[in-house]
Chain A
Amino acid sequence: MSSADLETLRAFYVGSRQQLYTYATSITSNRESAEDAIHDVFQRLLRLEVLPADLRPYVFRSVRNAALDTLRRTKVRSDSIFDAAAAVDAVAPTEPPAFKTDELAQWLEQLSPDERETIVLKIYDEFTFQQIADLRQVPLQTVASWYRRGLDKLKTHIPTDLL
């Protein structure tokens, strides 16, 4: 791998580590396994002669596959993607969220894996429906349907006065 590719990959990790971790944790429900999956993917990427042209979808797809692999070996699946210690988001510290993070984590856990993954990719990793469809290799309508159905299920848990 060239020095330029090495720097590109390093910059990509620095810029995407949070998104990759959230995505991997949403699949494994285990932070250690999520980190192992990310580490494995970067180890493999570093062995490539040339980086793929479209790095972001490639790495997210690789992390997904690695997370699904570790999922089979993971015994304990109780970790959520949220930071339980911090209830308030740094972006809007004056406005507390409408529900507790552990409650939200539980509601997310009750969604199907496809619905949960789509919501995480759309809201936290800022993927478009088309990008999710390309990543999952499913039709765009399927992704939109998973997303809508997931949000509808979440809405049923949240008191209407909080929305």
Chain B
Amino acid sequence: MNELEQQLKTQRLAAPSTALDQRISDAFAAVARSRQSSRNRQIIWWWFSAFAACGATAALFLSGTLWRHPTPKQITYRIEAQGRLRLLLLEPPASANRVPRFVVTTHAP
């Protein structure tokens, strides 16, 4: 750096005003505020979504249980057997009472 450059460098420069600093500071603060409010809106939205999802699930479950078609009552019909069917059921044929075969095996001396 030569002499002239040194001389130029030693000159005191005009500084920006405090008004500019204030304007810039306000701009930063406005952005920070808007970020905060946006974050709050996001949190509220997430909570709302979570509640809505829970509500929808509960509603589906309840509707499934309350409005299910009731199962019909069981009806039992008793019909007494008549005629040959009755005889067949009450007096089984002799073949049903057959004695089991008795088999004896011995060793021959």
Tell me the smallest distance from the CB of B76 to a CB of chain A, in Å: 75
Contact (A35, B16) CB under 8 Å given A46-B27, A123-B9, A163-B4: yes
**How many residues of chain A have a CB within 8 Å of chain B?**
48
What is the 8 Å Cβ interface bit string for chain A, positions 52-89, against chain B (1 contact, 0 not)?
A: 00000000000000000000000000011111101111
| Chain B interface extent, by class | 20 to 34
Partner of B14 from the list A42, A80, A97, A119 (CB cut-off 8 Å) is A80
Q: Are B13 and A119 in contact (CB under 8 A)?
A: no
Q: Are A82 and B14 in contact (CB under 8 A)?
A: yes
List residues of chain A with CB within 8 A of the CB of B20. 17, 21, 35, 38-39
Q: Are B12 and A42 in contact (CB under 8 A)?
A: no
What is the 8 Å Cβ interface bit string for chain B, positions 7-24, against chain A (1 contact, 0 not)?
A: 111111111110111011
Q: Are A97 and B10 in contact (CB under 8 A)?
A: yes
Q: Are A6 and B16 in contact (CB under 8 A)?
A: no
Does A106 count as interface, using CB distance less than 8 angstroms?
A: no
Does A4 count as interface, using CB distance less than 8 angstroms?
A: no
Q: Are A79 and B5 in contact (CB under 8 A)?
A: no
Stretch among A128-136, A138-146, A150-158 lining the B interface: A150-158
Does A127 count as interface, using CB distance less than 8 angstroms?
A: no
Chain B interface (Cβ < 8 Å from any Cβ of A): 2-5, 7-17, 19-21, 23-24, 27-28, 31-32, 35
Chain A interface (Cβ < 8 Å from any Cβ of B): 1, 3, 6, 9-10, 13, 17-18, 20-22, 25, 31, 34-35, 38-39, 42-43, 46, 79-84, 86-92, 95, 97-99, 101, 104, 119, 123-124, 151, 154-155, 158, 162-163
6 residue pairs bridging A and B, Cβ less than 8 Å apart: A6-B32, A9-B28, A35-B19, A80-B14, A82-B11, A163-B4
Given contacts A35-B20, A92-B10, 12 further A-B contacts (CB under 8 A): A13-B24, A17-B20, A20-B16, A21-B15, A21-B16, A31-B14, A42-B24, A82-B12, A84-B14, A98-B7, A162-B7, A163-B7
